[in-house]
Structure 1
Amino acid sequence: EVTQIFRSIAGKPAVPLTTGTPSRRLLEINRAGTAALFVESTPSRAARFGVISTADGSVTLINGSAPDFSGDGERLTYVSEADGQWRLMIAPSADPARAAVLRAGTEPLGAPALSPDGDRAAFQIMRQYDWELHVIDSDGTNERRLTTEVQHDRSPRFLTRERLLGVMGEPRHQRSYLYDADSGERTRLFHNNTVRTIAPEYRWAHSPDGNLVLIVADRDGDTISPARGVYLTDLTKTVTPQELRVRLEVALAEEKKLRERGHRTYAPISVAVERTVRMASVARVWAYQHALSAFGSRHISRPGNSRAADYLFETYRSFGYEPEYQAVPTRDSRTANVIATLRGTANPDLVYVVSSHYDSVEDSPGADDNASGTAALLEAARLLAGRPQPATIVFASFTGEESGLIGSREFVRRAVASNLRITGALNNDMIGWANDGRLDNTIRYTNSGIRDIQHAAAIGFSRLITYDARYVRGTDAQAYYDEYGDIVGGIGSYPVLGSPHYHQPHDLIDTIDQDLVTEVAKVTVATVMLLASSPSPIKGLQVDRYENGVAEISWNPSPEPGVVDYLVSWGPPGDLQRDQRRVAGPGATIRAPSGTVISVRAVNEQGLEGWDSARITLGRGN
């Protein structure tokens, strides 16, 4: 279906301004209303756009891309590329064919933008591996570089002549910054409300005077929910010292709660966990990645994939496991997951999976994506070999993540078909690239109980600094989530993906921080030890009766051996542990007002509480 652009005047029929093929898509109309930009849908042809004169309907077609009007509408800029030469162009809106070259070179250019008065142009340029932001005057002089960050800096736009907005990172998670066009001074524009939570941003729009910016973002870190927030930032206002102090005090109180809760949770097994994680070896972690990198691309269509699978099989076997290949059906190649199992001593039917994908994209050796996650998985398997836990732990090296999650989906399909009781899953993906000396990474979760345990594991048993986001999109965690629901945790760079090596031939082992990978392995081990040693979440929590502020609640008895009683907690949202009580059986009577949230966890004979609670709110249909 071909789409065209029409002009409509009140009381008159719409008049086509473009005709024929290909399809055209309107981009913007300049502020004066005298000209409009459109692009053509011509995937097999060099990029081309058009300028329409709204006065007479005439169209000028230009070979180029990413056109943009100045704020006053008098000029436009665009990028032209031919024979390996990239040119930044500027032209009068009234006579777009009369274009001048602002700069030319072999380095790729993109996303040009003009200042409101048209006297300056900003653009992104790929100097080596990543996009950087530059500014140049409209006569082609005084070019200066605004950014030096190794992460991608993209999509500049002028708010005023002196101030720009730019975004950093990969499109699935970008963060906005303000830049002084003269000095390059940078200011973070948008913040989340907690110390730990990552807030991905997606779209931006600003007022004509540049004082107001609208931002579409997941400020709560929940990228799974389809709901997103729209936030207004007023650049004429500042946060007062007192307002900042209040925010910091709230954040400090929450951080103390997180740490105290984590210390209490791990207390019964902390000695065993510490003895296990202290055996982690940076040298071994490097050796795993070095071996995987030697196979080149591990895409399912390349020989390196099967060689990597054989290496993983033999490595698991060297740790004392009896690994298995799990064939994954594909149309054009043979590939397999590699699975190793540590059978549980007390609750073997409860299964926790630790996974990473070992394949890569076709044209990359995949050091970070995902030899890094595979190395952490292997080290976790080594550390736990000979140390069985109460529940069963499965170590799963998945193939085909880069080919549509085919390995993880096959694993989950078989698990469901065989009634495998997967109670929790940790999936690590892209954990090794570090922008600086900070050993930090992001917990990607669907289950808040696992999230808090991973924070506690990082704080108590590693040097890792952890943030968090509710995220599964495009990762093997999606396969678990689709079939088993909210059972997922794990660590990975998403949604904070800043690596310029992502899916590139230069995703090499020398870009990986081996200490970072080793610390992730420690956190993974500490997390799965706690999960496998604790009661799983209870089922069937319900309010049997609620009258005059008195609630009678019940739940299904835990079928797990070793459960001795239940911890019932209740309070307002955000303070669920205001009141607590231990009960011996699967029921309790509580006096509480409507709106109170009640949570219940099983407690075992070691004193370990269930790693997640069942929750219900009084007054909502009960």
Structure 2
Amino acid sequence: MNRRLRLFAVLGALLLLTGTALRLSAFGGNDPEPLYLVVSHHPHDLDALAAVTLPYLDEGRLKVVRLRKEFGELTPALQSLLRRVRPSELKSYRPEISTRSLKRRADVEEVLKKISKTTYQDYLTFMASFEDRDAAGLDRKENSGNERAVKWLQEEFEKLSYQTSLHCYKARRYAEECNVVAMRPGRELPNEWVVVVGHLDDVGHHQAGADDNASGAVALLEMARVLNEQPTARTLVFLAANGEETGLVGSKAYVKSLSESGDLAKVKYSINMDMIGYNEDGVIDIETNNEFEPEAQWYSTQVKTYTRLTPNITMPAWGSDHVPFLNQKIPTILTIEHWDTKTPCYHQSCDKLNTVAWDYAMEIVKLNVAVSLLKAGLI
């Protein structure tokens, strides 16, 4: 560990004790050498980057490097794994939250009582049984695991009486690549939307991808089930996004389609659930970009209000379906398992049901039901 990383580790330990925001600018924001955020933590990508980079810091979801050569000398594939950042953008901390700010709403609590771990387990067990949910499977064979997952999610949302459609955006050999979109119009503000996202695809291991991201995709179903009879002022939209593992393809296509139709301005808030099923320390990462740091702090207050988890704020955003919404300046939060102790089966064939921490996942479902109600407005 180099001197800078040791200093970061020491300050990180102080951070846990004090709750004070840790800012990379404390290490010297005028450093002339460019810094790059690594935006893929897939093992193969990290191996490829190791040959051309030098570590600068490694703290949870913040993996920052310097380059051994000029950026323009890297292959396009390697360039796509890096995003230039300023030191002041990089933050990871556990916020101080006053107990006086923890005000549980009785009407929210009543809805949370409807959440069922058994139902969630049934959903997740079924979805994890599909073979090879990767989007590339649509090119390999008919009736692929990805195609069947899309059809099943569509049917389940329809059973819950949501206005459900497929948003197809890419031709494949055997079936189109599609997102699943389920909508329930708001009673008072139907043209203001709260969008909840979870990607349905995985990296293609046989009957795997339980945590990444069947855990988040079926959380959409459980949230939709709990909220289907609860009227809200704003419209609720559930987006089961495809192609996340191949570059956020589905969520980018969805946001683009909203922009082209004029509906993007309707999206007032977005929540992303990715990898919510593995736990070692009861911590949840709350990720966004710096401009929405106050929103991350508000979200963290809801973590302490409605769950038994500990929030950790991390910025900037990368690597999941919250990014296309943030790029359009829409307030968006990623809820994801604590990256310091993420599943050891990340993007591996062992990402199966026996690794899922059910109670932890239910706390995150509870959190996002509460936030959805608060942002959409209970009636």
| Shorter-chain TM-score range | 0.7 to 0.9
**CA–CA separation in structure 1 for the residues paired with 2:358 and 2:130:** 19
Query: 1:495: how far off?
Result: 4.8
Residue 443 of structure 1 and its aligned partner are, at CA, apart by: 0.9
Instruction: Write out aligned runs for 1:135-150 (5 A).
Output: none
2:197 aligned counterpart, secondary structure: strand
Q: Which of the residues 325, 329, 334 maps onto 1:480? A: 325
Matched, 1:508 2:348: no
Equivalent in 286, 291, 294 of residue 443 of structure 1 = 286
Matching residue of 1:389: 232
Amino acid at match of 1:261: S
Residue in structure 1 matching 2:312, options 467, 474, 477: 467
Q: How far apart in 2 are the matches of 1:393 and 1:487?
A: 15
Distance 1:412 1:392 in 2: 17
2-side partners of 1:526 and 1:392: how far apart? 15
- Give the CA deviation at 1:498: 3.1
Code of the residue aligned with 2:163 in structure 1: it is: E
Alignment of 1:94-109 (within 5 A): none
1:529-548 equivalences in 2 (<5 Å): 529-533=373-377
2:156 counterpart residue number? 315
Task: Provide, for residues 460-514 of structure 1, a one-character-per-residue CA deviation record: whole Å limited to 9, x for no partner.
Answer: 22222221112321211111122x2141113013754632211101111110101
Partner residue in 2 for 1:227: 86
- 1:489 is aligned to 333
TM-score (norm 2): 0.74
Q: Note the residue ranges of structure 2 that are not aligned, 5 or more in a row.
A: 28-34, 37-54, 65-82, 89-93, 138-143
Higher helix share: 2
> 2:185 is aligned with what amino acid?
R
Q: In 2, are the aligned partners of 1:300 and 1:334 still within 8 Å (CA)? A: no
Shift of 1:215: 5.7
Of 516, 519, 527, 2:371 maps to 527
* Unmatched segments (≥5 aa) in structure 1: 1-156, 160-164, 166-174, 179-186, 204-213, 230-250, 535-605, 607-622
2:214 partner amino acid: A
Report the TM-score, using the length of structure 1 for normalisation. Answer: 0.46
Closer, same or farther: CA 480–503 of 1 in aligned 2, 3 Å: same
SS at match of 2:347: coil
Contact 2:195/2:236, CA 8 A, preserved across alignment: yes
Q: CA separation of 1:481/1:323 partners in 2, compared to 1, >3 Å: closer, same or farther?
A: same
Amino acid at match of 1:289: L
CA contact (8 A) 2:267 2:330 kept: no
Asked if structure 2 preserves the Cα contact closer than 8 Å seen for 1:455 and 1:466, the reply is yes
Give runs of aligned pairs for residues 347-386 of structure 1, distance below 5 A. Answer: 347-363=189-205, 365-386=208-229
Identify if the C-alpha distance between structure 1 residues 188 and 452 changes in structure 2 by more than 3 Å, giving closer, same or farther: closer
1:260 alignment partner, one of 100, 103, 108: 100
2:60 & 2:304 partners in 1: Cα distance? 24
Shift of 1:199: 7.6
- The percentage of counterpart residues that share the same residue type is 25
Equivalent residue pairs, number: 315
Listed one character per residue, the Cα deviations across residues 57-106 of structure 1 (whole Å, up to 9, x for unaligned) are xxxxxxxxxxxxxxxxxxxxxxxxxxxxxxxxxxxxxxxxxxxxxxxxxx
Q: Equivalent residue of 1:298, what SS?
A: coil
In the TM superposition, 1:291-440 aligns within 5 A as: 291-302=126-137, 303-332=144-173, 333-363=175-205, 365-420=208-263, 421-435=266-280, 438-440=281-283
**Bigger relative contact order, structure 1 or 2 (CA pairs below 8 A, ≥6 apart):** 2
- For 1:313 and 1:499, how far apart are their aligned partners in 2? 28
Structure 1 residue 366, shift from structure 2 partner: 0.7
Give the match's secondary structure for 1:525: helix
| 1:220 Cα offset (Å) | 12
AA in 1 matched with 2:108 = V
